[in-house]
C-alpha cells in the first residue's frame, strides 16, 4: 500500500503485487516510441531529479500496461520497468497494479482516458514547454488551469474532455500541470505520429 504525495498533493492509493507484464508487439512499439520521445527531450528527468513522461497501451477492456514510476532516466526500458494496471477506480482514487515497480503516478489519468473512450488503445504523456504553450495558444483542448495533475479532479476533467472529442488521435494540454501534454488514439503508431508531427512544427518555426 502506498499513497503518492507529490508537490503537496495527495495522489491515489496504490496496491502493487509482484509479477511481470506479458511482452507483446504493442509494447515493443510503445518502447520504440518512448526511446524516440526520450531522444527528443519529451521524456526524461528535470534538474531537480523529478522524472516526467509516461506511456501506456490497452491490453483488454479494463486493463492497460504502463511505464513504471521513476523510469524517466532510462533511454530504453526493460520489461521489468513496465506495470500492468489490473484495476483502478476514479471514484475511490485507487490503482491496483502488477509488476516490480509501482505503476506511473499518472496511471489514473491514463485509466480515465481508456474508460472515457473504448476505441482508445494507446496514451502518451510528455512534457514540453514550446508545444504546451502552442497548444494552449492555438485553442487545442485542455483541462482547466485550476486542476492539478494526479488528482481525482484531473481524472474527471480528462474524462469530460475525452467524451467531448470526436475522432482519434487527440492531443490536449493539461493547463494545470505545467508543460504537461497528452496524446491518445487507437494505436501506438498513430498517437506517436501525431505527437511527433506537432513537436516538429515547434522546431521549424
Residues 162-181, interacting with Zn ion (CB under 5 A):
180
Query: Which lies closer to Zn ion via its Cβ, residue 72 or residue 116?
Result: 72
Q: Are 51 and 45 in contact (CB under 8 A)?
A: yes
Residues 180-199, interacting with Zn ion (CB under 5 A):
180
Q: Are 20 and 100 in contact (CB under 8 A)?
A: yes
The interface mask with Zn ion, positions 129-168, x = CB under 5 A, is ----------------------------------------
Tell me which DSSP letter residue 150 carries: T
DSSP line for 184-197: EESSHHHHHHHHHH
Please tell me the distance from the alpha carbon of residue 202 to that of residue 60, in angstroms, as a whole number: 35
Query: Which lies closer to Zn ion via its Cβ, residue 169 or residue 180?
Result: 180
Query: Which lies closer to Zn ion via its Cβ, residue 111 or residue 180?
Result: 180
Whole-number minimum distance, CB 107 to Zn ion, in Å?
A: 12
Whole-number minimum distance, CB 125 to Zn ion, in Å?
A: 6
DSSP line for 37-91: HHHTTSSEE-TTS-EE-EEEEE-SSS-EEEEBTT-TT-SS--GGGEEEEEEEETT
**CB nearest Zn ion: which residue?**
180
Query: Which lies closer to Zn ion via its Cβ, residue 99 or residue 180?
Result: 180
For Zn ion (CB under 5 A), the number of binding residues is: 1
Please tell me the distance from the alpha carbon of residue 178 to that of residue 120, in angstroms, as a whole number: 24
Binding residues for Zn ion (CB under 5 A): 180
Amino acid at each position: 500500500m502506498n499513497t503518492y504525495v507529490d508537490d503537496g498533493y495527495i495522489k491515489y492509493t496504490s496496491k502493487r503485487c509482484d509479477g511481470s507484464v506479458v511482452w507483446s508487439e504493442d509494447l515493443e512499439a510503445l518502447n520504440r516510441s518512448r526511446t524516440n520521445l526520450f531522444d527528443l527531450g519529451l521524456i526524461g528527468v528535470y534538474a531537480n531529479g523529478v522524472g516526467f513522461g509516461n506511456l501506456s497501451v490497452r491490453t483488454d477492456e479494463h486493463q492497460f500496461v504502463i511505464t513504471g514510476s521513476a523510469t524517466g532516466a532510462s533511454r530504453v526500458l526493460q520489461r521489468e520497468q513496465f506495470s500492468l494496471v489490473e484495476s483502478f477506480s476514479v471514484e475511490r482514487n485507487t490503482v491496483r497494479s502488477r509488476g516490480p515497480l509501482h505503476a506511473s503516478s499518472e496511471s489514473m489519468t491514463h485509466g480515465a482516458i481508456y474508460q472515457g473512450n473504448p476505441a482508445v488503445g494507446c496514451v502518451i504523456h510528455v512534457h514540453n514547454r514550446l508545444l504546451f504553450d502552442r497548444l494552449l495558444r492555438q485553442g487545442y483542448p485542455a483541462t482547466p488551469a485550476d486542476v492539478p495533475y494526479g488528482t481525482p479532479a484531473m481524472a474527471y476533467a480528462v474524462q469530460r474532455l475525452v467524451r467531448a472529442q470526436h475522432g482519434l488521435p487527440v492531443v490536449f494540454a493539461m493547463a494545470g500541470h505545467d508543460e504537461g501534454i497528452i496524446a491518445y488514439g487507437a494505436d501506438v503508431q498513430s498517437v506517436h505520429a501525431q505527437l511527433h508531427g506537432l513537436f516538429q512544427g515547434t522546431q521549424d518555426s
